[in-house]
Structure 1
Amino acid sequence: MTAQTPTTTDVTGGEPAAREPGVRQLPARFRDVVAAEWIKHRSLRSTWIAYGATALAVVGVNAGTAYDTYSHWTERTSRDRASFIADGIPLQEAFTANGALLMALALGAIGAVVIVGEFSTGSVRTTFAAVPDRRAVMAAKAVVVAVVTTLFGVVVSGVSFAVTQAILERRDAGVFLGEPGALRVVLASALLAPVCALAGLALGAVVRHTAATLIITVVVVLVLPLFLTDGRRWSAVAGHTLPYKAWLRLVDIHYAPPAYPWSTGGAWTVYAVWACAAVVLAVVGVHRRDQ
């Protein structure tokens, strides 16, 4: 009888791993990798605490703005009240700029922690040992993050709209979802969440240090939009490439073209490009860096 000798199989980005004699290692199916990443994502209590705290904070900020309007409504003249509705201010209070910045920062951090946490604890080695195809792992993480944060954005944006308009309606100043531009405000605010979360995931996959990743996220989401203004052409064009600036354009229903205007189609394109580029950077970056 001829003795069987152990065989090996190459592990992408690592050393060849020993394999049991006669056992053929099958590549993991992508749906199984996605399922595994979903289990990891939902099993972290801190993740859901972060989601819950962010949701409460964002809805609270928006509702607080609407309540401030409600409480001081009687101090307005009849002309001011009419202008408030005619100028589309109820839709601005449905999801405020402060609420959008807060959600963008929080979701960027959550997206980064999804991968940085595994690198910092070393558990990513176990993940890559189980699934040597790093690109499949990162693609699965991106799918889970995109789906969960999109649902999160839809819920937060929808609840915020309902709560703020219910408060304003007590002064006959609220609007309904069928109002022109209302659905765009809700959708743009909802999709800001997955765009920022995927950007955070990509930064975390490349940088791999929690503090550095969070600093870069703050710079991209908060500092650059404040630094880049519409006063100069180069500054306006650069600002038009940022997700937060795109959100501002999409929720501006009564858009008054500035010196360097842009379209809602351009703003939606910025959303799509950032999401797709983030996924590509996360998938390709991890694969190439560990070779």
Structure 2
Amino acid sequence: MTTATMPLREPRARFADLVAAEWMKLWSLRSTAWSLLVCALAVVAFNAGTAYDTYRYWPRQDAGFGERFLRDGMPLMSAFTANGAMVLILGTGAIGALTVVGEYSTGMIRTTFAAVPARRSVMAAKAVVVSAVMTAFGAVVAWGSFALTQAILSGRDAGVPIDHPGALRLVVASALLAPVCALTGMALGVIIRHSAGTMSAIVVVLLLLPIAVTEGRHWSAVLNHTLVYSAWHRLTSVHDTGGDFPWTTTGAWTVYAAWALVATMLTVTVVHRRDQ
């Protein structure tokens, strides 16, 4: 067979091409931008509402309230509240899950894998896109919340700058909460493949488990220290609470990294071992 008659082989897709395709696929859905916008507004609203309540009812406090407010680190507690973190966890986890569950529910995943048989590369590209988008999203929301809440509190001379002790760590930890939860949602979506089941799993794993376990016993404290929300709470705590089973900020950062790594590995490997 001469060179002229040999069939031409289609070139393998480069990873950069897969990332570009997943980027276009993500933003081609109107729901992506709207979901991010609604999630951002909800998180910022919870945090700003807490700061505004403090501002509004400040005159009702006693003369030493302002000094105690600053001494106890309350400006940072208002900068990113627990309610805001829970909304961010749920919203980003759901968005991450929908990036894969949506394709399974419509059957588009079959077309994707038919076009690119290298399933692990496809899912790795999807994880890269989700990580990048959610990291940027988390940074905007965390910084926006911090800036807005401190501007509100500055009306009572109670706001703090970003170089205040613990402020930068709070912003970074809150920002990185978004990609960690989105990757976790992706992993659960790949495993479960159904919208309702995946959303239920996200609520249980990311929100209910931290409430169910306590610091009262060693085994329970160890389990609590492995959870994403608990890690965020430890990183954003103004004071080291100590307790019977204390843990470090290094351990909390490690929990972040471990959840992101394991979630990505599951997302990439599970599709290689299961049919569409």
- Which residue number in structure 2 is paired with residue 15 of structure 1? none
The residue correspondences of 1:28-39 to structure 2 (distance < 5 A) are 28-39=13-24
Report the Cα distance in structure 2 between the residues aligned to 1:99 and 1:169, rounded to whole angstroms. Answer: 21
- Which residue number in structure 1 is paired with residue 41 of structure 2? 56
- Which residue number in structure 2 is paired with residue 211 of structure 1? 196
Displacement of 1:238 after TM fit?
Answer: 0.1
Report the Cα distance in structure 1 between the residues aligned to 2:62 and 2:215, rounded to whole angstroms. Answer: 33
Report the AA paired with residue 135 of structure 2.
T
Report the Cα distance in structure 1 between the residues aligned to 2:115 and 2:59, rounded to whole angstroms. Answer: 64
Report the Cα distance in structure 2 between the residues aligned to 1:244 and 1:102, rounded to whole angstroms. Answer: 11
Per-residue CA distance 1:111-153 (angstroms, 9 max, x = gap):
0000000000001111111111000000000000000000000
Report the Cα distance in structure 2 between the residues aligned to 1:64 and 1:249, rounded to whole angstroms. Answer: 23
3-state SS in 2 of match to 1:78 = coil
Q: Does 1:202 find its partner at 2:191?
A: no
Given the alignment, which residue of 75, 89, 94 partners 1:90? 75
Report the Cα distance in structure 2 between the residues aligned to 1:258 and 1:97, rounded to whole angstroms. Answer: 20
Displacement of 1:83 after TM fit?
Answer: 1.0
- Which residue number in structure 1 is paired with residue 91 of structure 2? 106
3-state SS in 2 of match to 1:103 = helix
Given the alignment, which residue of 134, 141, 152 partners 1:149? 134
Displacement of 1:265 after TM fit?
Answer: 0.1
The residue correspondences of 1:1-291 to structure 2 (distance < 5 A) are 22-290=7-275
Displacement of 1:75 after TM fit?
Answer: 1.0
Displacement of 1:50 after TM fit?
Answer: 0.4
Displacement of 1:170 after TM fit?
Answer: 0.2
Report the Cα distance in structure 2 between the residues aligned to 1:210 and 1:23, rounded to whole angstroms. Answer: 41
Displacement of 1:25 after TM fit?
Answer: 2.6
Displacement of 1:79 after TM fit?
Answer: 2.0
Displacement of 1:253 after TM fit?
Answer: 2.3
Report the Cα distance in structure 2 between the residues aligned to 1:250 and 1:244, rounded to whole angstroms. Answer: 10
3-state SS in 2 of match to 1:72 = helix
Displacement of 1:205 after TM fit?
Answer: 0.8
Report the Cα distance in structure 2 between the residues aligned to 1:214 and 1:256, rounded to whole angstroms. Answer: 32
Displacement of 1:80 after TM fit?
Answer: 2.3
Percentage of identical aligned residues: 60
Report the Cα distance in structure 2 between the residues aligned to 1:109 and 1:217, rounded to whole angstroms. Answer: 7
Report the Cα distance in structure 1 between the residues aligned to 2:64 and 2:240, rounded to whole angstroms. Answer: 22
Report the AA paired with residue 282 of structure 1.
T
Report the AA paired with residue 114 of structure 1.
T
Report the Cα distance in structure 2 between the residues aligned to 1:76 and 1:259, rounded to whole angstroms. Answer: 34
3-state SS in 1 of match to 2:64 = helix
Give the aligned CA root-mean-square deviation in angstroms: 1.5
Displacement of 1:26 after TM fit?
Answer: 2.1
Displacement of 1:172 after TM fit?
Answer: 0.4
Any unmatched runs of 5+ in structure 1? 6-20
Displacement of 1:256 after TM fit?
Answer: 1.9
- Higher Cα Rg, which structure: 1
Deviating 4+ runs (over 3 angstroms): none
Report the Cα distance in structure 2 between the residues aligned to 1:288 and 1:261, rounded to whole angstroms. Answer: 40
3-state SS in 2 of match to 1:179 = coil
- TM-score, scaled relative to structure 2: 0.97
Any unmatched runs of 5+ in structure 2? none
- TM-score, scaled relative to structure 1: 0.92
